[in-house]
Amino acid sequence: MQKPKKYFFNRRPKFHGPKTNERIRSLDVQVINSTGENLGILPIKKAIEVAKSEGLDLIEISPNANPPVCKIMDIGKYKYDMQKKANKAKKNQRISVLKELKLRPGTEIHDYNFKIKNAKKFLAKGDKVKFTVKFKGREMQHVQLGKNLMERIITDTKDIGQVEVNPKFEGRQMIMIIQPN
């Protein structure tokens, strides 16, 4: 039979959320009752008694204020409201994704138009687009073709996007990033 492991540095689980009732460490607090009326600055014990008499909890709303601001309300309702607010904020945020389109200096016009159409679609969705022009072998002697291609891309996408990172060389490839307007 195996021995149970000993944990020498056990810590108490960290409490997440606002401080309530006896967890509040300040001596005096600014108290707001359940109807939203300001009761003024009270000693912590008196504030907890007022909350208990209403059958509710004393919740620390603004711990950084001097003295801390506490409100008398139900902790379950408060946590529920905070979770709803966080979910709404998360739903409204937009995560920008970096899409990459790879080209060659000798890319034909139809393929180029297809890539530009995709780039415009990505930019309209709110994503950034990274254009990469790869050079192989003797194509490195004709860097001007890649620069011309990048200039053409900039002019074709200027109505829907703007250049974030100007065309630059990294090894055997030229890179440019365009972000939506």
In this prediction, residue 4 has a pLDDT band, given cuts at 50, 70 and 90, of low
Tell me the pTM.
0.54
Supply the pLDDT for residue 80: 92
Per-residue pLDDT band for 7 (boundaries 50, 70, 90) equals low
Q: What is the mean pLDDT of residues 107-127?
A: 93
Which domains does the chain possess?
Answer: 21-82 (3.10.20.80), 98-180 (3.30.110.10)
| pLDDT at site 6 | 63
Residue 65 has pLDDT above 90, yes or no: no
Whole-number pLDDT of residue 90 = 87
Residue-averaged pLDDT of the chain: 88
What average pLDDT does the segment 70-88 reach?
91
Please write down the HEC assignment for all residues of the chain.
CCCCCCCCCCCCCCCCCCCEHHHCCCCEEEEECCCCCEEEEEEHHHHHHHHHHHCCEEEEEECCCCCCEEEEECHHHHHHHHHHHHHHHHHHCCCCCEEEEEECCCCCHHHHHHHHHHHHHHHHHCCEEEEEEECCHHHHHHHHHHHHHHHHHHHHHCCCEEEEEEEEEECCEEEEEEEEC
**pLDDT at 31 exceeding the cut of 80:** yes
pLDDT band at 124 (very low <50, low <70, confident <90, very high): very high
